[in-house]
């Protein structure tokens, strides 16, 4: 018995001494524990969030991606998943789980090393809020003591709430609400059992069980959580099997919020930063923009379709890049995934690594290991690049990186390519300047340059309406006659060299009215009109619409839109014609609130109708609106007649050598500007005009945006009379009269400017 009792007594004595020492240390350490103020007044860093006007999240900015959710709003399925994965006895222990410690110690003893921990949810809260992650006995003691202190100060639900909102879960996500948005693109209230168990598996090791970086390990961890939930009777075996069979849609881009409004979010961020500086990223500001989800979705799709249609018209360019497949096992998913990691998804275009290729069939692998086979119609556009005679640096062969997209109806894969051209769209309410939709480019992740606000481009013929409006102020009318014949302009008038412009179609109609000149976008007539009213007068006049005078030198080239504008300026300028002559400033932010919902700032726009905003006469605006409607009815914008509306007006714009294409169109309730071109200006291609390249994008969006808005025609202002005939002279007689009487004078003296009218006389 002595040999038994002595070791037992030694063991018990040692344990008592250890307990006594721990007790003494606890008594000494407890008063020195940190205050729990950070929990009683829990104010975590909450990022700046940007929303649509109807409440959809479109952007989030801050070091920590976090959403604070009251414990009462957390789904039960997630609570149960977390308890099963992290602390099944959470509601029974007092901060430190003694049974869990014994179980972990036994497991570690029989496994021959430290394999299992016994950290409770309360201990994790103590560690995350107050302590470092160093693995020392002192830190463990403080962690245990803090856990007791926390348990004595807060309810179990409050502690679980701290944990749910504070824990780091990978991808810069802090808290389960943020993780749900980042990984699944949905609020916490909408997650399924399968999604909840995937999230609940993250706290143990976010980097290891991250479903974006390590889908296989994340899946294994998810299965473990499901088994634990079944064992604890939180779910039935049938529910477990259904969750196991569910296919999860994981977001690979943490900035994908379900609404493609990245340019809007970035613009809003810059505006808010100017006011709040760095504090904006942690104080929980909520910014509500003016855009609406449905409008923005329609605008994004219109830009995508327009650019892809343009791209397809100009043929398939070949493989995007190549990777070396030598020495790798193409049956190993990890090795193939490594070769694809530098190529991101763009929109619905996925990168694919070609494993085998011939003119009849291409086999490729996608992110995640999915194999796709392309044949028949799927390869039609790329047939030339499958030929062995294709350029070596473009041919589709094993190792090539190509792009594929899945057909929404057939679910079959089609070969495609990243477009090189850029496009942009902005839509505004002309009554108050509220931005309804804004797409600054094809793909924000590839190109963050905002083509609405940052791109200074030549407007081409879309600038002519402002010259014509200036002419109306100089006593011209829509029936005034201009000469549409070739013209040569000397160097002193152009500011550079002799200029011999031409009409787009190379045809000349002789004397035509202003209305026809604008509808058919006649260059020669526009130049003569500017020559008549004077370039310097026009340069000053266009500033009424918000254009910069210095960007439009006072030369005759201004008549053809040789200056520089932004799409933001264009949409504001065309709003003047749409609203009856008032200049309203486009605005993007409707309201800013703090983390508690208190309003910090609200935009109060000044609306059209306020005479302080008037920049052109109401009669001028009405006449210009009438003339711009003719552009749509019988001119270069006739494609817009597909809307079947009588209140549509607008103007196409094509710059020299087809470098930029525009369409600026409107109804009384919506002004929309679209543009397409290349960042490094170059030819879009023969025939790629504003009417053929930019107007289809405009039409695609506007037919959705105006679907529920009834037609509305402007009221004719006082001081205007409509007449059908103003002079007995025919155009041919007038043409002959001009050439016989006035052209010789101009040729001899070079100082007479014609200002011809249908009227009783023609005045030099």
Q: Which residue matches tokens 């959809």?
A: 56
Distance CA 478, CA 610 (A): 27
Strands 589-593 and 286-289: antiparallel
Strands 649-654 and 661-667: antiparallel
pLDDT value for 503:
87
Tokens (6 digits) for 491:
């160097």
- Residue among 464, 619, 623 at smallest CA distance from 528: 464
Question: Of the residues 67, 119, 378, 461, which is catalytic?
Answer: 461
Distance CA 542, CA 598 (A): 42
| Low-confidence stretches of the chain (pLDDT beneath 70) | 1-42, 98-118, 131-139, 253-255, 493-495, 724-764
Distance CA 176, CA 231 (A): 23
pLDDT value for 748:
43
Is 86 noted as a catalytic residue in this protein?
yes
pLDDT value for 113:
46
As beta bridge partners, residue 438 has 426
Cβ neighbours for 679, distance < 8 A, ≥ 6 positions apart: 422, 447, 449
Task: Check: CB of residue 652 under 8 Å from CB of residue 694.
Answer: yes
Q: Which residue matches tokens 């200029």?
A: 499
The model's pTM is 0.82
Task: Check: CB of residue 126 under 8 Å from CB of residue 148.
Answer: no
pLDDT value for 123:
87
- Place domain 317-416 in its CATH homologous superfamily: Nucleic acid-binding proteins (2.40.50.140)
| 498-to-120, 490, 559 alpha-carbon distances in Å | 84, 5, 16
Distance CA 288, CA 268 (A): 9
- Strand ranges, E, within 258-409: 286-289, 321-322, 350-358, 361-366, 371-375, 400-406
Q: Which residue matches tokens 């090539």?
A: 400
Give the HSE-up count for residue 374: Cα atoms under 13 Å, Cβ half-sphere.
Answer: 32
Is 461 noted as a catalytic residue in this protein?
yes
**HEC per residue, 237-250:** HHHHHHHHHCCCCC
Phi and psi, residue 113, nearest 5°? 175, 175
Cβ neighbours for 727, distance < 8 A, ≥ 6 positions apart: 758, 759
Burial class from Cβ neighbours inside 10 Å (0-12, 13-18, 19+) for residue 456 reads exposed
- Residue among 258, 687, 691, 661 at smallest CA distance from 422: 661
CB atoms inside a 10 Å sphere around CB 43: 11
- Of the chain, the end-to-end C-alpha distance in Å amounts to 134
Question: Of the residues 60, 86, 431, 434, which is catalytic?
Answer: 86
Task: Check: CB of residue 591 under 8 Å from CB of residue 288.
Answer: yes
- Residue among 201, 195, 190 at smallest CA distance from 74: 190
Distance CA 602, CA 261 (A): 21
pLDDT value for 408:
73
Gyration radius of the chain's alpha carbons? 35
Counting every residue written for the chain, the total comes to 764
Cβ neighbours for 287, distance < 8 A, ≥ 6 positions apart: 48, 49, 50, 51, 268, 272, 589, 591, 592
As beta bridge partners, residue 427 has 437, 672
Tokens (6 digits) for 35:
């205050």
CB atoms inside a 10 Å sphere around CB 237: 8
Helix axes 567-578, 618-634, angle to 10 degrees: 110
Distance CA 714, CA 578 (A): 9
Tally DSSP H helices, then E strands, for the chain: 24, 20
As beta bridge partners, residue 510 has 484
CB atoms inside a 10 Å sphere around CB 310: 23
CB atoms inside a 10 Å sphere around CB 531: 16
Task: Check: CB of residue 82 under 8 Å from CB of residue 177.
Answer: no
pLDDT value for 726:
53
Architecture of domain 65-245: Orthogonal Bundle (1.10)
């Amino acid at each position: 018995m002595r040999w038994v009792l002595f070791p037992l007594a030694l063991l018990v004595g040692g344990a008592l001494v250890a307990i006594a020492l721990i007790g003494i240390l606890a008594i000494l350490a407890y008063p020195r524990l940190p205050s729990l103020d950070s929990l009683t007044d829990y104010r975590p860093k909450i990022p700046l969030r940007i929303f649509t006007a109807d409440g959809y999240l479109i952007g989030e900015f801050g070091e920590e991606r976090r959403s604070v959710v009251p414990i009462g709003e957390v789904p039960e399925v997630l609570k149960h998943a977390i308890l099963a994965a992290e602390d099944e006895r959470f509601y029974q222990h007092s901060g430190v789980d003694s049974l869990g410690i014994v179980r972990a110690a036994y497991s570690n003893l029989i496994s021959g090393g430290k394999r299992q921990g016994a950290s409770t949810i309360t201990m994790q809260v103590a560690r995350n809020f107050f302590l470092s992650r160093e693995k020392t006995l002192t830190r463990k003691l403080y962690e245990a003591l803090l856990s007791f202190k926390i348990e004595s100060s807060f309810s179990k639900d409050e502690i679980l709430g701290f944990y749910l909102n504070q824990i780091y879960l990978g991808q810069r996500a802090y808290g389960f609400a943020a993780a749900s948005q980042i990984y699944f693109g949905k609020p916490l209230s909408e997650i399924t059992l399968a999604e909840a168990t995937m999230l609940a598996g993250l706290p143990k090791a976010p980097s290891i069980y991250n479903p974006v970086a390590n889908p296989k390990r994340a899946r294994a961890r998810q299965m473990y959580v499901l088994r634990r939930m079944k064992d604890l009777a939180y779910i039935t075996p049938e529910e477990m099997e259904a969750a196991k069979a569910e296919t999860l849609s994981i977001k690979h881009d943490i900035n994908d919020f379900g609404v493609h409004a990245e340019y809007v979010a970035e613009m809003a961020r810059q505006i808010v930063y100017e006011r709040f500086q760095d504090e904006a990223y942690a104080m929980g500001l909520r910014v509500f923009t003016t855009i609406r989800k449905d409008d923005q979705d329609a605008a994004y799709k219109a830009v995508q379709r327009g650019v892809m249609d343009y791209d397809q018209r100009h043929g398939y360019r070949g493989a995007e890049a190549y990777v070396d497949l030598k020495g790798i096992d193409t049956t190993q998913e990890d090795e193939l995934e490594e070769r694809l990691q530098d190529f991101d998804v763009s929109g619905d275009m996925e990168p694919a690594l070609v494993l085998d290729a011939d003119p009849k069939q291409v086999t490729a692998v996608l992110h995640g290991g999915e194999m796709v086979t392309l044949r028949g119609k799927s390869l039609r556009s790329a047939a030339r690049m499958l030929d062995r005679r294709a350029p070596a640096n473009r041919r589709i062969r094993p190792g090539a990186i190509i792009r594929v997209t899945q057909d929404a109806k057939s679910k079959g894969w089609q070969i495609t390519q990243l477009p090189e051209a850029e496009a942009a769209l902005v839509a505004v309410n002309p009554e108050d300047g509220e931005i309804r939709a804004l797409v600054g480019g094809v793909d924000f992740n590839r190109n963050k340059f905002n083509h609405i606000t940052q791109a200074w481009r030549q407007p081409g013929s879309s600038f002519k309406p402002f010259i014509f409006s200036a002419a109306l102020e100089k006593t011209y009318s829509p029936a005034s006659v201009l000469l549409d014949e070739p013209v040569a302009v000397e160097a002193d008038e152009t500011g550079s060299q002799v200029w011999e412009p031409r009409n787009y179609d190379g045809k000349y109609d002789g004397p035509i009215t202003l209305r026809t000149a604008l509808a058919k976008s006649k260059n020669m007539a526009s130049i003569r009109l500017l020559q008549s009213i004077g370039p310097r007068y026009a340069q000053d006049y266009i500033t009424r619409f918000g254009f910069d005078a210095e960007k439009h030198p006072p030369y005759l080239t201004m008549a053809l839109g040789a200056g520089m504008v932004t799409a933001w300026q264009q949409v504001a300028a065309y709003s003047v014609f749409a609203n009856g002559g008032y200049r309203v400033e486009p605005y993007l932010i409707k309201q800013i609130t703090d983390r508690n919902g208190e309003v910090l700032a609200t935009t109060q726009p000044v609306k059209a109708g306020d005479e302080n905003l008037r920049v052109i006469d109401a009669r001028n605006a009405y006449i210009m609106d009438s003339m711009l409607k003719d552009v749509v009815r019988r001119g270069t914008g006739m494609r817009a007649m597909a809307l079947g509306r009588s209140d549509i007006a607008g103007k196409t714009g094509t710059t020299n050598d087809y470098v930029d294409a525009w369409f600026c169109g409107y109804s009384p309730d919506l002004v929309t500007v679209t543009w397409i071109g290349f960042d490094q200006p170059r030819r879009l291609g023969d025939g790629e005009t504003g009417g053929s390249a930019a107007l289809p994008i405009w039409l695609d969006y506007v037919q959705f945006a105006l679907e529920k808005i009834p037609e509305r025609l402007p009221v004719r202002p006082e001081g205007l009379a409509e007449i059908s005939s103003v002079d007995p002279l025919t155009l041919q007689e007038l043409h002959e009269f001009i050439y016989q009487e006035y052209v010789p004078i101009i040729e001899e003296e070079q100082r007479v400017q014609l200002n011809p009218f249908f009227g009783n006389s023609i005045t030099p």
